[in-house]
Amino acid sequence: MEFGTVELADLYDEVSHPDGISPQRLREITAPLVERTISGDNLDGFRRGARPWKRLKEEILPVRDLISAQYSDAVSVRFPLDSSFPDAWLRFENGRQLGVEVTGALVRSDVEVGKELMSGVPVAALIGLPDEAPQRDFTMARQKGRMWHSAIHVDSVLINGVKKALADKDDEKYAGFALLVVAPLRRRPRRSDVEWREILLQSAEMLPFAEIYLMERSGAPRTIRVK
């Protein structure tokens, strides 16, 4: 059975309910994304994070994985799914609530790779450009097809991309919240959690967030607590 826009709308209705839903229920209603097929334009939209799939890909699924990795004692989660902040609210057994803001590093690279997948051309593992690069640079990179990047270049683009994602969230309105940064860490799989913390510590400590996490969602999710 295909998971399409009708099923997506039902999922959005449930996760945005004022009472929230349990983490167990969240995992249950998102499981069909693996067990069933998203195809055609829906698959293209999901890969690119286009509406109406954007909040599912960029907010709901990352927070689901964060709960599994870090917040086993959470009893409910609610997604406002609007322009307010934060992107999700967690509630715990002791009544404590925690706001979770989600952002991404090298998001545009992910979008461009999604375009390649839909066009059927050889897919680049990583388009080595920062998010702020002009669209013409991304278009030219796609036209060149699959490219190899040096480890030094990948390091630079990835680290700078994550640091920019952190800097873009430097706002006192997030004081006391948790920040989740989703990034393609698989491009440097041998870098340990300790190394990532050392690289990002100074940038993270300057932010008002009480907790900061770095996550890779492709394949087996990997979550690193930075602060």
131-166, pLDDT tens digit by residue?
Answer: 777 888 767 766 666 565 677 878 898 999 999 999
In the predicted structure, residue 125 carries a pLDDT above the cut 60: no
In the predicted structure, residue 190 carries a pLDDT above the cut 90: no
The DSSP-derived string for 43-68 is: HHHHHHT-TTTHHIIIIIHHHHHHHH
* 196 found inside a domain: no
**What percentage of residues in the chain have a pLDDT greater than 90?**
62
* 14 found inside a domain: yes
* 38 found inside a domain: yes
Which residue in this structure is represented by tokens 């006192």?
Answer: 172
Amino acid identity at 77: V
* 59 found inside a domain: yes
Instruction: Supply the pLDDT for residue 35.
Output: 64
Instruction: Supply the pLDDT for residue 36.
Output: 72
* 110 found inside a domain: no
* 92 found inside a domain: yes
Between 115 and 31, name the one with better pLDDT. Answer: 31
Mean pLDDT computed over every residue of the chain: 88
- For the chain, the domain total comes to 1
* 147 found inside a domain: no
* 50 found inside a domain: yes
Q: End-to-end alpha-carbon separation of the chain, Å?
A: 41
Q: In this structure, are residues 213 and 222 in contact, taking their beta carbons and an 8 Å threshold? A: no
Beta bridge partners of 213: 180, 225
CA pair distance 85, 43, nearest whole angstrom:
27
In the predicted structure, residue 203 carries a pLDDT above the cut 90: yes
Q: In this structure, are residues 179 and 211 in contact, taking their beta carbons and an 8 Å threshold? A: yes
Instruction: Supply the pLDDT for residue 126.
Output: 66
Length of the chain: 227
Instruction: Supply the pLDDT for residue 119.
Output: 63
- Residues spanned by the domain of 82: 5-98
Q: In this structure, are residues 213 and 201 in contact, taking their beta carbons and an 8 Å threshold? A: no
Instruction: Supply the pLDDT for residue 43.
Output: 86
Amino acid identity at 51: R
Q: In this structure, are residues 42 and 53 in contact, taking their beta carbons and an 8 Å threshold? A: yes
